[in-house]
Amino acid sequence: MSTEPDSRYQLHVTVETQYIASQSAPDEGKFVFAYTITITNTGTQAAQLLSRHWIITDANDEVHEVRGEGVVGEQPTIGPDSSFTYTSGCLLATEVGHMQGNYQMLAEDGHLFDIEIPGFCLAPPHTLH
């Protein structure tokens, strides 16, 4: 039995984050972050992003889960050798937090599969060393 991932269903996720100081109010425990996700299809099957599941943890170990259809109001289909990029946001009650999750995908051949969103840190510049 092979443990190698099926090359038909390979999508790679990259994340860039940004602290939005102009929308944050640290004295009120309000820290706003934007994150830009790029999903690149390196497989051989086009796949549609059906839903998302996020686990958001702040520095107080408060966990918030988010589940929903698509991303930013879309359920994009990403063809082989193509990418989809979107930007969304997150509000934390602490200066530092962490996000991770997964997307449920539907390949053009009808195969349902999940892709992992690698964990990433949310923190204002120069907060972490």
Q: Which range, of 6-10, 16-20, 68-72, 73-77, averages the lowest pLDDT?
A: 6-10
Give residue 4's pLDDT: 59
Q: Specify the 3-state DSSP secondary structure of 11.
A: strand
pTM of the full structure? 0.91
Which is nearest to 9 in space by CA: 39, 37, 40, 42?
42
pLDDT tens digit sequence for 24-74? 999 999 999 999 999 999 999 999 999 999 999 999 999 999 999 999 999
Mean per-residue pLDDT over the chain, rounded? 94
Q: Cα separation of 58 and 64, whole Å? A: 9
23: nearest Cα among 12, 14, 32, 15? 32
Given 3.40.50.720, 3.30.310.10, 2.60.40.1470, 3.30.930.10, which CATH number is that of 7-122?
Answer: 2.60.40.1470
More confident position, 80 or 6: 80
Q: Would you kindly state where each structural domain of the chain is located, as residue ranges?
A: 7-122
